[in-house]
Amino acid sequence: MRMIDRKKRSHRRLTRNRHGPRVRSSHSRTAPPYDQPVANPDPAYAGGVQPLIDRYGRVATDLRVSLTDRCNLRCTYCMPPEGLDWLPRDDQLTDDEVVRLIGVAVTRLGVREVRFTGGEPLVRRGLVDIVRRTRALDAGVELSITTNGIGLARTAGALAGAGLDRVNVSLDTVRPDTFLEITRRDRFADVVEGLAAADAAGLGPVKVNAVLLRGVNDDQAPELLAWCLDRGYQLRFIEQMPLDAQHGWSREEMVTADEIFAALDRAYDLTPATEPRGSAPAELFLVDGGPATVGVIASVTRPFCGDCDRVRLTADGQVRNCLFARHESDLRHAMRAGATDADLADRWLTAMRGKAAGHGIDDPTFLQPDRPMSAIGG
């Protein structure tokens, strides 16, 4: 495999946010102080839209919206068997509030992609309506969902009809017994059915996200890829991150991107895909010459923070400028106290100014955020 070429390329890379300016990797740059304006870098943002630009020149155009922190699975790397202390109902944004905040992001702040996530977004009763209303805000915004796939067989058609473009389904194994071991639920068949329904409903290209766990499914990467290739699904492996509720993650235990490449490379001929990666987190490889690809998201061992174009909204209305942020900006209380859309947009812009250069997992002072992945929105 052409690991060395790929590594050289990523180290030298000058990057371009998909909808924003050309920037150098933020790690090498010094940020201006919070209170100095950053010049609007892109004339495409004319017309009253203020981009969500941070102190390093990165522009957030991709909004992850968590619709709930609840879930019907209990993946071992995500939450404990008994679940978590779920958000009180009153703290959760209503459907109207979610749509209003997405509207602020799309119409005032230049957001061009909205991904619904959680927890498990399919357990949110108003999901189809939220998708429909988000689509009505702007026909050009890309709408997708990240889901465990349970219940997707029932809702895929309605979601497509409401204007959803794509789905990402999380599936870490194609062995029912390993599925039960990882998720603590015997629901493998439901996920397989959900994937097929999403594909049939036109929610493609269907992407599959997989996390490998040492001693559990780390020997299953090639068979997972074979299964996805057979069905035309695009598989991406994600390195396990320190975002589990139990704080059980360890650097020594996690399966690294290099190990994943090596395992796949023994079974397939992998060559780096030529299309520019931009702000996409996955490093893409052509499988046996293509056109099928496999991706690896090396969030821990090869962070891509310098190219980040994401911002997150939690189910209780907090803006998070990074998965690993230790500070949030509370839009829910502001909104319920009567803030105008312009006020909310200003708060959001300010929240982005505090975005750190990188997640700092390798820094000895790194602290895992208080919220686990399931309560942030992965």
Binding-site ranges for ligand SAM (CB under 6 A): 71, 77-78, 117-118, 120, 146-148, 170, 209, 211, 238, 240-241, 243-244, 373-374, 378
Q: Which tokens hold the place of 195? A: 């994937």
Q: How far is the CB of 131 from ligand SAM (least distance, A)?
A: 15
Q: Which is nearer to ligand SAM, 170 or 279 (CB)?
A: 170
- Please tell me the distance from the alpha carbon of residue 316 to that of residue 233, in angstroms, as a whole number: 33
- Convert 215-240 to b/e letters by CB count within 10 Å (16 or more is b): ebbeebbeebbebbbeeebbbbbbbb
Q: Identity (one letter) of the amino acid at 280?
A: A
With CA atoms as reference, report the closest residue to 65 among 146, 129, 139. 146
Is residue 104 involved in binding ligand SF4 (CB under 6 A)?
no
Q: Which is nearer to ligand SF4, 208 or 345 (CB)?
A: 208
Is residue 71 involved in binding ligand SF4 (CB under 6 A)?
yes
Instruction: Select the binding partner of residue 103 from ligand SF4, ligand SAM, none (C-beta < 5 to 8 A, by kind).
Output: none
Q: Which is nearer to ligand SF4, 148 or 293 (CB)?
A: 148
Q: Which is nearer to ligand SF4, 25 or 148 (CB)?
A: 148
Among residues 52, 59, 73, 352, the one that binds ligand SF4 under rule CB under 6 A: 73
Is residue 148 involved in binding ligand SF4 (CB under 6 A)?
yes
Among residues 75, 152, 263, 264, the one that binds ligand SF4 under rule CB under 6 A: 75
Instruction: Select the binding partner of residue 79 from ligand SF4, ligand SAM, none (C-beta < 5 to 8 A, by kind).
Output: ligand SF4
Is residue 245 involved in binding ligand SF4 (CB under 6 A)?
no
Element holding 188 (H helix, E strand): helix 188-200
- For 36, 60, 125, 184, 369, the CA distances from 39, given in Å and listed in that order, are 9, 15, 41, 50, 31
Instruction: Select the binding partner of residue 322 from ligand SAM, ligand SF4, none (C-beta < 5 to 8 A, by kind).
Output: none
With CA atoms as reference, report the closest residue to 26 among 44, 35, 13, 41. 13
